[in-house]
Amino acid sequence: MPTLGLVAHDHRKPALVRWAQDHREQLVGWDLCATGTTGALLEKELGRPVKKFLSGPLGGDLQIGTEVAEQRMELLVFFWDPLAAQPHDPDVKALLRVAVLWNVPIAMNEASADLLLRGLAQGDYQRRVPDHTHYRAIWGGK
């Protein structure tokens, strides 16, 4: 099953839970993973298992980023709070950067999450995974 990452800042958690409840049927075909508190809320409200990482400020955003970088995530839904400063903002930026780097679709609000989930449900989308070998040559890595 494809994997969907779910992340929400504190003031956006109710919106993400509501969105997931509204799309309960479409989410049946997905493995769900989330940062700690968000994952616990989703697991309780959806009545299904959610792989939970640490809370975002404790490293959960970076753990989700690892899933993206290691090609274990097909979609990221991240309801961030545009009106509140986050103490772990560098981690948030790192997560978004790695998702863009690996060409993983990112939904940041209900409208974009609806559209991405609907589009992916059609089954004809094939995400192109970028070839980053040119970076290895620049940085001297293998």
Domain spans of the chain?
Answer: 3-139
pLDDT of residue 129: 79
Q: What pLDDT is recorded for position 28?
A: 94
User: Residues 48-57: contacts with CB within 8 Å, 24+ apart?
Assistant: 50/6, 56/7, 56/9, 56/88, 56/91, 56/92, 57/86, 57/87, 57/88, 57/91
Specify the residue for token string 């009545």: 47
Closest CA to 112 of 65, 78, 82: 78
> Which one is the CATH code of 3-139: 3.40.50.1380, 2.40.420.20, 3.40.50.150, 3.40.1190.20?
3.40.50.1380
pTM of the model: 0.89
Please name which of 46, 37, 39 lies closest in space to residue 18, comparing C-alpha atoms. Answer: 46
Predicted local confidence at residue 1, as pLDDT: 87
**Would you state the pLDDT for residue 124?**
74
Measured distance CA(78)–CA(9) in Å, rounded: 8
| Positions of the chain with pLDDT under 70 | 134-142
- Of 72, 70, 64, 11, the C-alpha closest to 36 is 64
The answer to whether the Cα torsion of 103, 23, 50, 107 is positive or negative is positive
pLDDT at 93: 93
For residue 61, indicate whether it is catalytic.
yes
Catalytic annotation, pick one of 61, 81, 89, 131: 61
Averaged confidence pLDDT in the chain: 91
